[in-house]
Chain A
């Protein structure tokens, strides 16, 4: 019985990419459901008390982290390992800052502004930021794994699927915020 598969016929990278996109597509729907819930329950209203400066600051941090994530992938594509490490680390730092900003600051402050998770607008606010923060957390963990693997020299210009996957996931989490931020802070 032959046990060796002729791999030539299968483009492993294309298969991995399709799998990742399907996962992201499916995952995106959870965010969509919460977005629908937010508008279904509260229309376009939102409380005045939201900390707009903090919201804007966090959004900027997250957008910048997408840029550094992009630069990490671009670096390894040209074989620049130190560029990969530097940009991965920056992305991880920005991501962690975002997490601290949401969970450590915003979540502590909101109840004092009358936004509580149990009722009213807080239901949407805490569930949406909570689900998103959970994804940011998993993204940071993924980037950490990739970072340590990169330090061991696991990736090269023709073999960086791990970097690509983590970065794609990170972009996805950021794009979600691009929808969530206006829905939570800006609509009227």
Chain B
């Protein structure tokens, strides 16, 4: 019992329930005092959800240090010593970026599985024409939840990688704001709970985009959806403040911006979108909630509002949002590729700047989601042009990868296979993009499965495959053990085949006019077989993820001990013991060279500062074998 209570997560849940109850009671009392009927679902649950979330955070202990500071005590530095078993830290408010990184990643994977189950429900229903398993409303809720939970999962996955890796790669002791960092993680679990609670209040049939006027009326489940997204956005913004500040202010001596690992560039560029763009989805959703609760007609033409305004605000975030997912993912590709090819990353500076380029251009393309709205032709043409422009910095990355691989000796280990999977799917996603960017073609393809296929390919190529590559690659770093290479390869091949089958069926049915967001289709369209193939592919993807989960859990318990640097990487994090204990870099190393000089004779990236008298004080990152390789 005492052990249970020592887990922040449990305390948070208990406090959260109590806070919710207090919120309900409080709102009902106020309503009675104002002479209104005590119970009305929407306002009461709204206040209860806010109270519950704050109480959850208080129960976890997120506010403890700030409370101390506000009441005049010194809160001091976050503690570095911990009592009790190590695993307990993962369930508590802990300021160590390595703990937070793992917390984020595990939560991300849990959400990914949950969203995957939603996808399985949809694929089951679509496998055959006619309605067999769910009602159209349930289908729509499953669809909306799949979308938004995946988005949450990806945001947390990005934050997981960034948190774990940034201080290790930059030679910093921790993130710039450790407490804020822990807070931004702990906002996510209650946000996820709110998203799923929407099911208990009638679900939401709007899809993840939540467009009014449909979003402004109907089941209270929508309100939970908007609120959950709002809190997720809050978490994302706080995280971005940490990523940017850490990147700008905590780099090791000698590490100029253009000597940073390329992954950090991806996170840095994405963080700017997180910091700025997220406010747009948050505010647009808040405005819909205000319309629902107080009748403020922001998007109601009868009251002087405008529903198209919502779409502008919403997409101003929600297009760049895909770059929040993709830039760190592409960063992983550029980061790992040189390691497995044993060659320098081609055009480092261009790749780094292309991330910033994508982040900038990404803010100028939002209305390509609105080509069927009836905007002026001039506007549509402008957004068609800017959308095409995105291909330029993205192409820079692609050609850099091809040039990096050119003439290299590729080691086909599991992370490398996932990089190849990323190339294939990202290329499919990239090549189908320009069709949708062209106004007349989009007016035909809009809201068909072609769009769904395009989007899933960019997401799998830009995030899911690189994310899985990153998990396999850094698994030995995080756990000190190796995963099973055999199971990793089985995972990869099943996933690639399943995914291509699934999105292939999306492209084909979409081209022939299959509408998205519809539970059923006319058998006379002749889509039954191709949908069935897509569904089998979808189940294959899920099955491969079960193999992945088994591999991770089994290797965590019984995997081989990992060598100090299993990939012969030059990057900073591999100079530390696996797993890294205590403060990541108590004394920052000194950077004297470039991170990707694989095979370059006598290239040194870093010298460890001699202070502290630790046993790793005189290493450099030029292993002997590098000099040999240089002769190739």
Which residues from chain A sit less than 8 Å from chain B, CB to CB?
Answer: 1-6, 9-11, 14-15, 18-19, 22-23, 25-27, 29-30, 33-34, 36-37, 40-42, 117-121, 123, 126-127, 145, 148-149, 152, 154
Residue numbers in B under 8 Å from A10 (CB-CB):
249-250
Residue numbers in B under 8 Å from A2 (CB-CB):
582-583, 586, 612, 614
Q: Check A149–B275 contact: CB distance below 8 A.
A: no
Q: Check B248–A26 contact: CB distance below 8 A.
A: no
Interface 1/0s, chain B 278-292, versus A by CB < 8 A? 111011100100100
Partner of A1 from the list B306, B313, B582, B611 (CB cut-off 8 Å) is B582
CB distance from A38 to the nearest CB of B (A): 11
CB distance from B292 to the nearest CB of A (A): 12
Q: Check A29–B304 contact: CB distance below 8 A.
A: no
Q: Check A41–B237 contact: CB distance below 8 A.
A: no
Q: Check A5–B583 contact: CB distance below 8 A.
A: yes
Of residues 118 through 171 on chain B, the ones whose CB sits less than 8 Å from some CB of chain A are none
Beyond the given A2-B582, A2-B612, A26-B278, please list 9 additional residue pairs across the A-B interface where CB-CB is below 8 A: A1-B582, A3-B81, A4-B583, A19-B176, A119-B297, A120-B303, A123-B303, A123-B304, A127-B290
CB distance from B584 to the nearest CB of A (A): 10
CB distance from B233 to the nearest CB of A (A): 10
Residue numbers in B under 8 Å from A42 (CB-CB):
304
Which residues from chain B sit less than 8 Å from chain A, CB to CB?
Answer: 70, 72, 77, 80-81, 173-174, 176-177, 180, 237, 240-242, 244-245, 248-250, 253, 275-276, 278-280, 282-284, 287, 290, 294-298, 300, 302-306, 309, 313, 581-583, 586-588, 611-612, 614
Partner of A26 from the list B249, B275, B296, B297 (CB cut-off 8 Å) is B275
Q: Check A37–B309 contact: CB distance below 8 A.
A: yes
Residue numbers in A under 8 Å from B72 (CB-CB):
148-149, 152, 154
Residue numbers in B under 8 Å from A3 (CB-CB):
80-81, 582-583, 586
Q: Check A118–B588 contact: CB distance below 8 A.
A: no
CB distance from B72 to the nearest CB of A (A): 5
CB distance from A125 to the nearest CB of B (A): 11
Partner of A33 from the list B240, B275, B279 (CB cut-off 8 Å) is B279
Residue numbers in A under 8 Å from B180 (CB-CB):
19
CA distance A178 to B586 in the complex (A): 46
CA distance A120 to B305 in the complex (A): 8
Candidate in A41, A117, A120, A154 with the most chain B CB atoms within 10 angstroms: A41
Q: Check B581–A1 contact: CB distance below 8 A.
A: yes
Q: Check A18–B279 contact: CB distance below 8 A.
A: no
Q: Check A6–B611 contact: CB distance below 8 A.
A: yes
Q: Check A41–B304 contact: CB distance below 8 A.
A: yes
Residue numbers in A under 8 Å from B282 (CB-CB):
30
Residue numbers in B under 8 Å from A145 (CB-CB):
70
Q: Check A118–B586 contact: CB distance below 8 A.
A: no
CA distance A9 to B586 in the complex (A): 11
Q: Check B290–A22 contact: CB distance below 8 A.
A: no
CA distance A78 to B103 in the complex (A): 45
A3-B80, A33-B313 known; A118 vs B303 contact (CB < 8 Å)? yes
Q: Check B298–A37 contact: CB distance below 8 A.
A: yes
Candidate in A3, A29, A42, A123 with the most chain B CB atoms within 10 angstroms: A123
Residue numbers in B under 8 Å from A25 (CB-CB):
275-276
Nearest chain-A residue to B244 (Cβ)? A22
Q: Check B275–A22 contact: CB distance below 8 A.
A: yes
20 A-B residue pairs with Cβ-Cβ distance under 8 Å, sorted by A, are A2-B586, A2-B612, A3-B582, A3-B586, A5-B77, A19-B176, A19-B242, A25-B276, A26-B241, A30-B279, A33-B284, A37-B287, A37-B313, A41-B304, A119-B300, A123-B303, A127-B290, A127-B296, A145-B70, A148-B72
